[in-house]
Amino acid sequence: MIGDIFNLILLDPLFNGLVFIYTYIPNLGVAIIILTILIKLLLYIPSRSSIRAQKILQETQPKLKEIQKKYKNDREELGRQTMKFYKENKVNPFSSCLPLLIQLPILIALYRAFLGVADTDPTTNILVAEQLAHLYTPMRDIFTTQAIDPTFLGFFDLSKTGNWVLALLAGAATFWQLMMFTSQQPPKVPGAKDESMTAGLNKQMKYFMPIITVFFGVQFPAGLTLYWLVSTLFTVGQQSYILKKEASKEEAPHEPNKAGAN
């Protein structure tokens, strides 16, 4: 039952969307890139909220650490003061996780969609009956006879695993994305002894996540790695735009009080 709902809501629409794009642009890599951009545009608003939430959390960390230090021996009061702090500063500590939670089932559905596109007859490159069953009638009528070419740029087989080039590029893009926030660390609070530990964890994540990205990028079909690469680059551009926009708002000079000027 759950599997049927997952197929109905996510897998089938993404699978059909991918092959629909392929009917007009018969290049699987380009079709994946277009589908990725469409997904990122669909998730733009929750992603924007997440980026803003991360920025606010980063800026409020020094004050939050002061509260944690002050009430470290009183857990009940610490909880109250922390919630009060979040409310006063309009901070939702969980909002930054929302896009990841939304993207996870999409990523699983895309993984299955890319496996489905690669599941073709080895002699004809036509989708097997099991995959054709996921297609809507108009798409099924086309791809019952139309082959799918899994190559991209002439030498990337997006249906295969072990693509180190795309995996390394995805890892580099992940590192770039993480650097955008870690390079804007807030000023240290005197006496906050646990800041060095937090900074150390942030630094470890900055290198650990790209390594994990490369590892999984090699294990998964190259089509999924291409999706992750394009998705991360889109996020980098989105983060850059939003952070610059927020910074310009903060730096914009306030208009002089006209009443006081008269």
Residue 132 maps to a domain: yes
Residue 194 maps to a domain: yes
> Which run of H or E residues covers position 176?
helix 164-182
Residue 188 has pLDDT above 90, yes or no: no
Model pLDDT, residue 63? 78
Percent of the chain with pLDDT over 70: 75
Residue 222 maps to a domain: yes
Q: Average per-residue pLDDT in the chain?
A: 79
Residue 192 has pLDDT above 80, yes or no: no
> Which run of H or E residues covers position 204?
helix 195-219
CA distance 57 to 86: 9
37-49 confidence digits (pLDDT tens): 998 888 777 676 6
Residue 184 has pLDDT above 70, yes or no: no
Mean pLDDT over 159-174 rounds to: 92
How far are the Cα atoms of 144, 163, 214 from residue 80, in angstroms, in the given order?
62, 50, 41
Could you tell me if 232 and 177 are in contact, meaning their C-beta atoms sit under 8 angstroms apart? yes
* 44-64 burial code (b ≥16 CB/10 A, e <16): eebbbbbbbbbbbbbebbeeb
Model pLDDT, residue 191? 43
Residue 6 maps to a domain: yes
203-262 confidence digits (pLDDT tens): 667 788 899 999 999 998 888 899 899 989 998 888 888 778 766 766 665 545 444 444
Q: Could you tell me the residue range of the domain that residue 213 belongs to?
A: 2-247
113-143 confidence digits (pLDDT tens): 888 888 888 888 899 999 999 999 999 999 9
Residue 260 maps to a domain: no
Q: What is the pTM of this model?
A: 0.74
Model pLDDT, residue 138? 92
Residue 159 maps to a domain: yes
Residue 65 maps to a domain: yes
Residues near 238 by Cβ (< 8 Å), separated by ≥ 6? 40, 44, 47, 48, 51
CA distance 97 to 13: 24
Mean pLDDT over 175-195 rounds to: 58
Domains in the chain: how many in total?
1
Between 8 and 248, the more confident residue is: 8
CA distance 208 to 206: 6
Residue 253 maps to a domain: no
CA 202 to chain centre: 18
